[in-house]
Amino acid sequence: MTDLPYDRENYCYRHADRQSFILCQRCGRTICTECQTQASVGVHCPECVKLARQSAPKRRPAAVRAQRAWRSDSGRPALSYLIIAICVLVYGVQFIGGDAITQQLLYYPPFTLIRPWTVVTSMFAHGSPIHLLFNMYSLYVLGSILEPALGRARFAALYFISGLGGTVAVILLSPTHAVLGASGAIFGLLAALFVIQRRLGGNTTQLIIVIALNLAMGFFLPGISWQAHLGGLVTGGAIAFILLRTREPRQSRTQALMIAAVAALLVVIGVARLFV
């Protein structure tokens, strides 16, 4: 065994009797195990940790409240799960009741004034198990990302107004075709995720490919309403743009009014087209 010669630099600067060979990553002074705070690289001494905390930017209480308001209480996409459960339940009723039930739920533009509830019920009804499975899986994936980030109220507005946008697009572009399914709303979520990721500097290449492929399917495969997809896509992108431009707490009222204005505009366009 070899004795090391005494060197003051090999002792903790806060505890002169404790030998150590660990240096603070920031100031370079020797610190013992009690004085070490693990950092992303190496360790820091107590004084450097305190200095870092003091120099860290302070967030105003309003900003903290705003961030919390944009998130669900539990972080779980509870509303997405609820919509999935309702869609599965509705399809079960369709399966048992047959065509008669489905006819009451689907949306057919010429019957809008006679059966206005179908604007909403058509978002929960589906034409086949594959149709249901594909839409619900998409909702699960997108809802798990967007609902905790936006908060339930904003997510609900995004989802249902996107679905309304899909319905209005059907009125404008394909007024003699009946439609059902959550696809318009799903495309609204896709567009919103694209706009948000793009604005925050995320990689959107994969999203562009997914959106392009799904849109293309509507043009080449029978029984798919590309009109509803396109309407949901445009509407969801518009809602996401509003959300991004009105993120400050003082803009919450403006945000709500602008989102309501989009919904009102869609209703006006749809109703006007029915009478033209």
Per-position pLDDT tens, the chain of length 276:
344 444 566 788 888 888 777 788 888 888 888 888 877 667 788 888 888 877 755 554 544 444 444 444 446 899 999 999 999 999 999 999 998 999 999 999 999 989 999 999 999 999 899 999 999 999 999 999 899 989 999 999 999 999 999 999 999 999 999 999 999 999 999 999 999 888 877 777 777 787 887 777 766 666 778 899 999 999 999 999 999 999 888 888 999 999 999 999 999 999 999 887
Find the catalytic residue in 44, 183, 225, 252: 183
DSSP-assigned beta bridge partners for residue 43:
38
Q: Which of 44, 126, 131, 229 is catalytic?
A: 229
Say if residues 140 and 92 touch (Cβ distance below 8 Å).
no
Predicted pLDDT of residue 48: 87
Check residue 57 and give its pLDDT.
57
Closest CA to 104 of 93, 86, 118, 89: 118
Which amino acid appears at position 146 of this protein? L
With beta carbons less than 8 A apart as the criterion, state whether 195 and 237 touch.
yes
Give the residue among 83, 184, 204 at the shortest CA–CA distance from 140.
83
| pLDDT value, residue 8 | 60
Superfamily of domain 75-274: Rhomboid-like (1.20.1540.10)
Active site residue 128: no
**CA–CA separation, 190 vs 172, rounded Å?**
22
Hunting for tokens 């107590």 — which residue is that? 46
Residue 18, Cβ density class (10 Å: 0-12 exposed, 13-18 middle, ≥19 buried): middle
| Amino acid in position 82 | L
Catalytic status, residue 183: yes
Angle at 242 between CA 236 and CA 246, to 5 degrees: 150
